[in-house]
Structure 1
Amino acid sequence: MKQDVLSMITKSKSVAPLKVNSKVVPQLSKDLTTSLSQTHRITLVDEYLIKIHPSKKPAVDKAAQITAFDLDGTLIDTKSGSKFSRGPTDWKWFNDKVVPKLLELQTPIVIFTNQGAVVGQKTAKSYVNFTSKIKLILQELEKKGLDMGNLWIFASPKKSAKYQGPNAHMFEEMRKPRTGMFNQLLKELDSVDRSVSVFVGDAAGRKGDFSDSDKQFAENCGLQFQTPEEFFT
């Protein structure tokens, strides 16, 4: 199982459920949007959210069924076998079922990932490494024939020690199991049919898991939950 730096130092395995409808409202900040690939653009919201979204907004049903995933330890593992990625190319698919399963899906695909070792600054080495890795993943999925117009990625970076912006509280709000990233998705899709949507993640509170944050995130968002071992079979 893979985990980010902040998750490893968390003392408790269990996180209390939280309400989905958060009252936390970010203050105005300048969002930075740039091109990531031929199919996707990347928006850095202040420094507290990395949003990777289709270049062209697709037509999606008002109450869309989604299939959502964690990233590390769920869709991918490190190629090196290290707990943490050593660079943009240090990744491989979780197993040989991942890509075929993604290709079978007829729903929008969303990735929600905590990235506690990444700083949300476009010049930071950790940011460049992370976004470069995402670009490689997107390119591989495009080669395999995935509908790239229905794929979103939301990443929660860490707060830099030098951060002096107005939205310090938003870093924690974006971090799973809180629902900040899911609430950002609702701005893209308008509505999600939670009763038939699923979130797949490896932090399920099982023996050996570093946390149950993925399971709690699904519960807080009102989504069904599965582990990668259950989904990718």
Structure 2
Amino acid sequence: RVHPFFTEKPKNNSMKRSIRWISTVDSVLFGKSSGNEQGRSKIAAFDLDGTLITTKSGRVHAKDENDWQWWHTSVQSKIENLHQQGYKIVVFSNQNGLNTETRINGFKSKAAAILSQISIPVCIFAALHKDIYRKPSTGMWDLLEKEANDGVIIDKSNSLFVGDAAGRQDGWKPKLKKDHSCVDRKFAANIGIEFKTPEEFFLNEPKAPFTWGPFDPHIIDKDSTLNIPELGPKPHVVVFVGCPASGKSRFAKKYLVPKGYIYVNQDTLKTRNKCVAVAKEAIEEGKSVVIDNTNPEASTRALYIRLAKNAGVSVHCLYFTADEHLSRHNNYYRALNPPHDREVLGDIVFRTYKAKLQEPKESEGFDTIHKIPFIFEGPDLEGWQKWWI
């Protein structure tokens, strides 16, 4: 006779819970753990790493798909209680490191192991690329609304998001370092729902001080207008200096090219020598020219200053003063919004510009130098003022 211990099926079927992966968007993994559930108006959403789970090894990043444990012993019961209160449980995670099929499959196995220990249905979204689906952009939330909630309208006033990337600084709690970013708090703010940290939600700790970061798109003068400098008689040479995504090309194409300036840009012409050659040809033909490059170094600017002096025409510098933080914000905004004709630039280009920058001086040979602040002139100020990084 076989003892019942070996033949009885476990009463809790949660250990058999699996994930059905649904192919909706190439850059997002979207899965639902098994279980029949209709859409719900209240959403309780969570980040994954550092919020629901942490590494078993104590490392910052998991060494493999098995290196995880619950962030706190209360996580499972808290989530299940929320579901009983009528909340739909959703996980939103940035997973930019899943850049091979092996890593993607490892993440899927890990997600299945995690959700198998929760007795209620859960939706999980993982953003794989730096696009509109990556937090703090709201693409994953938009997918939830459009494709994963059975058409039920979400009540944002009764929904929340819990995440550890909350902008807390060094020492926000004894012996703890600052958060790696503020994207979870920004994600919730972009959506318009309540935000809590894991400590606040699971441990009922008081709110900790935080900072949004070095740039806040909400703090701008909406009534500011650009003062277009008067550069004197033509022909002349205009040399731009400015961080990538600081508004140089927009300025040139809106204010100078329509006035007959020859447009010189290394992204288009590919080499500095070609830029110099096109500028020289324009000057020889009696035309004004605008050099739309970052030009952080005096030695590069000297090429165009010498060109102007040799031709006997004036040379002016327009110095775009947007710093790297504002420019990085613009970088993501212009790449992730229509007309989608720009790529997201890597952070290295902003660090390189900052490291090389020698502020322009009239002693270099410029006839005038004009500082041009960044002022958003597009039609979608509300969109620009969302958090993009």
In the superposition, the TM-score normalised over structure 1's length comes to: 0.70
1:50 and 1:184 map into 2 onto residues whose CA distance is 11
1:203 and 1:93 map into 2 onto residues whose CA distance is 17
Partner of 1:47: 26
2:39 and 2:44 map into 1 onto residues whose CA distance is 14
- 1:56-95 aligned at under 5 Å gives the runs 58-61=37-40, 64-95=41-72
- 1:1-233 aligned at under 5 Å gives the runs 38-55=17-34, 58-61=37-40, 64-105=41-82, 106=85, 107-119=87-99, 124-141=101-118, 146-148=119-121, 151-158=122-129, 171-187=130-146, 188-189=148-149, 190=151, 191-207=153-169, 208-233=178-203
Q: State the Cα distance separating 1:183 from its structure 2 match.
A: 0.2
Partner of 2:283: none
The number of residues matched between the two structures is: 174
1:228 and 1:39 map into 2 onto residues whose CA distance is 25
Greater Cα radius of gyration, structure 1 or 2: 2
Contact 2:17–2:116, Cα closer than 8 Å, also in 1: no
1:52 and 1:174 map into 2 onto residues whose CA distance is 15
2:63 and 2:33 map into 1 onto residues whose CA distance is 27
Q: Letter of the 1:203 partner, please give it.
A: A
Contact 2:29–2:125, Cα closer than 8 Å, also in 1: yes
Deviations 1:45-88 (A, max 9, x none): 45301001245652234xx1110000000000011111111111
Deviations 1:101-136 (A, max 9, x none): 1121121100000001112x6xx1110111110010
1:96 and 1:56 map into 2 onto residues whose CA distance is 24
Partner of 1:17: none
Partner of 1:30: none
Local SS of the residue matching 1:217:
helix
Structure with larger RCO (C-alpha < 8 A, sep 6+)? 1
Q: State the Cα distance separating 1:92 from its structure 2 match.
A: 0.4
Local SS of the residue matching 1:41:
strand
Structure number having the greater strand percentage: 1
Structure number having the greater helix percentage: 2
Cα RMSD after superposing both structures: 1.7
Q: State the Cα distance separating 1:182 from its structure 2 match.
A: 0.2
1:109 and 1:212 map into 2 onto residues whose CA distance is 22
Local SS of the residue matching 2:167:
coil
2:47 and 2:145 map into 1 onto residues whose CA distance is 17
Local SS of the residue matching 2:94:
strand
Deviations 1:120-168 (A, max 9, x none): x6xx111011111001012122xxxx222xx10000013xxxxxxxxxx
